Each structure stands twice: as structure tokens, then as C-alpha cells.
Copies of this chain bind each other. A is one copy, B any other.
Amino acid sequence: MTVDIALQEQLKALDIQILELLNQRARVIAQLPPCSAGQWDSYIVELQQTNTGTLSNEAVKRIWQSLNSNMVNTDDSERAHYLYEKSPNKWRTIVDLPNSASIGAGNFQIIAGPCAVESYEQLDAMAQVLSSYGVKILRGMAFKPRTSPYDFQGLGEEGLAIARQVADKYNMVLVSEILDASQIPMMYDYVDIFWVGSRNMHNSFLLRAVGEIDKPVILKRGFGATMKEWLMASEYILLGGNEDVILIERGIRTFNDWTRATLDISAVPLVKQHSHLPIVVDISHSAGRPDIATGLTAAAIASGADGLMVEVHPNPKQALSDAQQQLTPEQFADVVQTVARFQREPIAQL
């Protein structure tokens, strides 16, 4: 009992001392410029390295996060913690493209093309149709990340050369998938937008590398990735100085079996709520079937998406990959019509 009282007094004395130091701390912080959540995270790691005591580093982290959130008096919602987050200064990113098209903040674009470049003739035929509908961004994939090493892996650099030629002919912007950081120098001369695929969303090495180039990057959501992981993947790119990141929602893996994946339409308003980055909806890989293309297109635009990604093929049944899900030119015409109808009704407040 006596011991308890002594201990209680000890505790009180300690807490008074701590409180005094916290007040000093609050005054110092008030004089410092705002500090990003990232900087705080790094700072806390440094502090943890000085921790030799009874508290776990996990507790130190939680305590300091709490201290910070209880000391800053500015309205938290006004302050961007991460680079991907909206702030009063950065509300909506608009990515300008070489052919004077742009995407984001009401500038809507369709990204279309076959699953993969198969030949000059195939891509030329496709681009002619697409550009006749006003499509400005051409999907020209030359490196395909396939489940099986025995499946068609793309035409490689030869495919890029074809795609560049075709894009130039129709004044389209070329987007193509990159599989590894080492491909940057070679691909740089061919493509206008680098595409980081679903299977590479967690590849921080590649994310950092495309963060250092001066061309826009499309970042697809991993099919097993949470919203947070996806946005943090964009942070890796933004941190390198590349501000032109375009997000693509492409469906997540669930138990559903009537669609290839489950299009997570909530991702669109969630991205609009949390981030300034443009978001595009991929209606091909999510559904994996062309018969619900117009319904998903309408949903995507109405919910606030800045663009649409669609696989179209002159003759889907002959395609070397993704034969099941590519649209015919006729089906694509319906999609374009749906886009036209709903674009006259933008959701202003988003």
C-alpha cells in the first residue's frame, strides 16, 4: 500500500515533467513549417532508434502520432499529408498530352486499342476506326505480362515501332506497358505515356524509376490491392518528382464468377474524395465480357471517372490474347455513344 502511494507520487511527478516538455514541444512545433505525414513517419523512425526503454517501438509510433495530431491546430482537412492527397493548392491534376489532349478535372479521354500489337495492319485498321470516333490515346502494348510463359508475350521493340508509326499517322498519343525499369531508355523514344500494369503495381523499384521520367505514367490498381496500397503506390511515383500520374481501376478479385474481376466502382468517388489524381475505369479487364460494356461505361462516367480504358480488336475471335473480352468495332461504337450521352451530364460537385 505504502509502495503504491510512493509509486503514484512518482507517476504524478513524471507526468508533470512530461506535460511541461509537451508544452515546450507545442511551442516549437507552432514555429515549424507544416510537415508531411511522410516526414513525420521518417522522424518517428529516427526517434525509435533512440528508444532503449520499456516502451515498444510500436507504442512509440502510436504515441507520437497521437502527440502530433493533438498539437497541430490547423484544420486537418485543409492540409495534404501525402503527395497524392487533395489540398487547397492542388485540387485536381490535369495531365497534358503531346497531341494537345488532356485528362483530369473534367477533361475526359478514351484510351483504346487491342490487347496487344499483333501487326502493322491490325493496329493501323484499329487506329483508323478509333480516331474516326475521336479517340486520342492509343493502347499499343508490345510487352505482355502473361500468366503462362508459353502464351504470346508481345512483339517487343518491333511492336513499339509499329505502334509509334501508327500513332503518328493518326495523331494519337501512344501508351504502352513497361515491365522493368531497365526498359525505360529504350521505350522512352517510342511512347508518350508509360503504363504500369496491375501485376506491377506493388513493384516499388519500377514505381521509383518511372517517378524520375518526364512523361506521364498510368498506374493500374493491382487486382489484390487495397485503395490505400494503390494510392501509396502513386506516392512512390510522385515522390520522384513526376506529377503526371493517371490511376486506372480495373476490378479486384472476388468470388464472383460471371465477370472476370469485380469492378470496384466505389473506387471512383473514393479517389475523387481523397486525391487530386485523374482516374480512369477499365471496362475490359474488370468485366471480361463485352455484353455489359455500355452499362459499365455509363456507370464509370456518371460516378465521375476522367476516362475509360477499352480493349477493341478488328476481329476479337482472332486475337492472340484476351479474345473473350475485346469489343468489336460495332460494340465500341455503342460505348462511344454512351460516353457522348453521359458527358453532357458531368457531376459538377465531384
Residues of A within 8 A of B (CB): 3-4, 7-8, 10-12, 14-33, 37-39, 41-43, 45-48, 50-60, 62-64, 66-67, 70-71, 145-152, 179-182, 199-200, 202-206, 208, 222-229, 232, 235-236, 239, 252-259, 262-266, 268-270, 272-273, 286-287, 291-292, 294-296, 298-304, 316-320, 323-324, 334, 338, 341-342, 344-345, 347, 349-350
Report yes or no: A349 in contact with B294, Cβ–Cβ below 8 A.
yes
Report yes or no: B258 in contact with A255, Cβ–Cβ below 8 A.
no
Report yes or no: A30 in contact with B54, Cβ–Cβ below 8 A.
yes
Report the minimum CB–CB distance from A85 to chain B (whole Å).
Answer: 13
Question: Known contacts being A70-B59, A148-B41, A200-B203, is A253 close to B224, with CB within 8 Å?
Answer: yes
CA distance A47 to B318 in the complex (A): 12
Report the minimum CB–CB distance from A261 to chain B (whole Å).
Answer: 9
Report yes or no: B71 in contact with A55, Cβ–Cβ below 8 A.
yes
Copy count, this protein chain: 4
Which of A17, A28, A347 has the largest count of B CB atoms less than 10 A from its CB? A28
Contacts of A149 in B (CB 8 A): 38, 204, 208, 232, 235-236, 239
Contacts of A323 in B (CB 8 A): 56-58
Contacts of A46 in B (CB 8 A): 12
Which of A25, A29, A304 has the largest count of B CB atoms less than 10 A from its CB? A25
CA distance A235 to B235 in the complex (A): 33
Question: Known contacts being A294-B347, A303-B299, is A252 close to B263, with CB within 8 Å?
Answer: no
Question: Known contacts being A51-B19, A294-B347, A342-B345, is A11 close to B25, with CB within 8 Å?
Answer: yes
Of all chain B residues, the one with the shortest Cβ separation from A316 is B56
Report yes or no: B53 in contact with A28, Cβ–Cβ below 8 A.
no
Report yes or no: B298 in contact with A304, Cβ–Cβ below 8 A.
yes
Which of B15, B32, B229 is the one whose CB lies under 8 Å from A147?
B229
Which of B18, B264, B294 is the one whose CB lies under 8 Å from A25?
B18
Contacts of A55 in B (CB 8 A): 19, 22-23, 26, 70-71, 317
Of all chain B residues, the one with the shortest Cβ separation from A178 is B205
CA distance A331 to B265 in the complex (A): 20
CA distance A204 to B319 in the complex (A): 22
Contacts of A235 in B (CB 8 A): 148-149
Report yes or no: A54 in contact with B26, Cβ–Cβ below 8 A.
yes
Report yes or no: B304 in contact with A302, Cβ–Cβ below 8 A.
no
Question: Known contacts being A64-B15, A228-B258, is A204 close to B263, with CB within 8 Å?
Answer: no
